[in-house]
Amino acid sequence: MSQALDTHTAIAVIGAGAMGSGIAQVAAQAGHKVYLHDQREGAAATGRDGVAKQLQRRVDKGKMEQQAVDAIIGRIHPVSALSDVAESSMVIEAIIEDLEIKRELLANLEELCGPETILATNTSSISVTALGAKLSKPERLVGMHFFNPAPLMALVEVVKGLATDNVVAETVHATASNWGKKPVFATSTPGFIVNRVARPFYAESLRLLQEQTADAATLDAIIREAGNFRMGPFELTDLIGHDVNYAVTNSVFNAYYQDTRFLPSLIQKELVEAGRLGRKSGHGFYSYAEGSQRPSPRTEPECQSHENRLIVEGEMGPAKALVDRFRDAGLEIIERDGPGQLRFGDAVLALTDGRMATERAQVEGTLNLTLFDLAFDFAKASRLAVSVASQASDKAVSDACALLQKAGIAVSLLEDRPGLVVMRTVAMLANEAADAALQGVATKEDIDLAMQAGLNYPEGPLSWSDRLGNGRVFRVLRNIQGSYEEDRYRPALLLRKNHYAEKGFYA
C-alpha cells in the first residue's frame, strides 16, 4: 500500500461552502497547512470563520482546548487566486455538482499544479471517469467523497475512475485513514456505494406509504424501534431535503437506464413540486412549524387474553430470542416439532417470509395466521409490525396482539402487504449490496463498512443477510417478487448463487 501524504505537505480545498469548509477543517485538524479558495469574494474567509465558530462552541462546552482550536484555524489560509494553491500536494474540489464546471476547474488545476499533485473530487454523483476524460493526465484524478458534515461523518469513498492510478487511490485512502476517517474503495459507477445501495431504504417505505400500508409516523417508528436504524426514511428525507433526495434517486434511476429497482416515488415528486422539501422549507412529511407536533405511530391498544401457554413449533430462526422474552414474561412454553411458528390461544404467529399473510394462510391452511416483521434484535425490540390474514378471526388477532404485548412489545397492525417493513427493507438493501459486490463496485467488506460509517446503519446489509441464515433473504425476495410480479424485486445473481451453495457472503 502507498504511504499517506505527509502532514508537512499542503492541502488545498476549492469551494468554501459547508462541505468544502468541513473538509478544510478535517485536513487542518490532521496537521496540514490548508489553502481554502472560493471564486466568490470573501467566501473563503467566511468559511474559515464558520469553522472557528463551530470549534469555539466545543471550547465553550469544555470539549476542546482553546489552544487546539487556535492551531487548527491557524492552519487554514483563505486565498483569493486559484494559482495560490499550486504548491499543494493534493487539491480537493468541492464545488457545484455540474460536470462542465468541474471539468473546467480540474483542467485549470492541472495546468497550475505540479505533475505529482493529486487532484481529488468530492462529487457525490458525477462519474470520476467523465470528469477526468478531458485531462491530459486523468490518472492523477480520484474521487474523495466525504459525507456531510465532513468533520463528524466517518466515511470517505475513494472512487477510482477508469484511468485513476492505483497508487493515487491508495495514497488518498491512506491519507483519509490518517485523518481519522474510515475510507473505502469504490469504482466509478452511478451512486458509488452509499447512494446506490441506500436507495431501497427510502424506496420501499415510500411504496408502502403509497399502498396505504401505514402512515409515515408508523413506518418511521417501525424502522427505528424494530430495525434499530437511527432514523426512519421519512424523517431522514425531511432532514436531507426532498429536492436533494429525489434528485439523487432520479440520477441513479436514469444512470442505470431506468432499472425499476431505482424507480422514483410519485409521492416524493409531489412533495418537491409543492415545495414541501422538509425541514429547510418548514414542511415535508412532517410539519416543522413552531409549536407543531409529530403524529404518534399507530399502536394497538392493550389486548386481553387469559392464555398462559405458548406452543413453539419448530425453530424460530432469527426470532428465537422472542421465545426467551415470552418465558421471562411468565408464560408456560411447550416446544414441539413444526414449521417454525407460535400458537397462542386461537392465534398462529410466524416471521414473515415475504408473502402476504392472506396468501400464506390459504396456501398453508393456517387461517388464523398473523405475520410479524423482522427486528434487528428480537431480544430488545420495543415495537413490531404485524399483518393479519383476511381469514383470521377477531379472537385470533386479539390473541396475537396480546402475546406480543406480554413481552413488552408495542404492536403496529399494518395492512397486509408482502414482506412487511423491516424485512422487506433489509432484503432489498442486501440485494442491492450483493449486486454491487458482484459488479466489482467494492468489496463486500467495504460495502458493509460504507453503509455503517456513512449512514449509521446498525449492521452492514451483507453481514445482516448472513445473520438471518442461508437463503432467507433470497426466499423473501422471491416471494415478494411473486406477489408483485415485478422485476424490481428480482434477487441478485450472487444471492441466488449463495442460496444454492448454502453459504453466506462471509462463509
> Catalytic residue numbers?
124, 145, 157, 195
Angle of helix 493-501 relative to helix 472-484, nearest 10 degrees, comes to 130
First and final CA of the chain: distance in angstroms?
26
Rounded CA gap, 507 and 495, in Å?
13
Distance CA 159, CA 377 (A): 34
What cell numbers appear for 5 in the block?
Answer: 501524504
173 vs 200: CA distance, rounded Å: 28
Cell numbers placing 480: 415478494
Q: In this structure, what C-alpha cell is assigned to residue 356? A: 402476504
CA 502 and chain centroid, separation: 27
Residue type, 362: Q
> For residue 333, what are the β-bridge partners?
310
Nearest-angstrom CA–CA distance, 56 and 171: 32
Q: Cell numbers of 344, please?
A: 397462542
Cβ-based neighbours of 364, under 8 Å, separated by 6 or more: 339
3-state secondary structure of 365: coil
Find out whether 372 and 384 touch, Cβ atoms under 8 Å: yes
Which of 197, 233, 237, 112 lies closest to 451, judged by CA? 197
| DSSP string over 283-333 | BSSSB-STT--PPPPP-PPPPP----EEEEES--GGGHHHHHHHHHTT-EE
Q: Contact at 8 Å (CB) between 105 and 94?
A: no
Residue 68, CA atoms < 13 Å, CB-side half-sphere: 12
- How far is residue 355 from each of residues 217, 274, 437, measured CA to CA in Å? 24, 35, 27
Q: Which residues neighbour 278 within 8 Å (Cβ) at sequence distance 6 or greater? A: 237, 238, 239, 240, 241, 242, 284, 285, 288
d(CA 197, CA 432): 5
Cell numbers describing residue 125: 454523483
Give dist(CA 312, CA 348) in Å, integer: 10
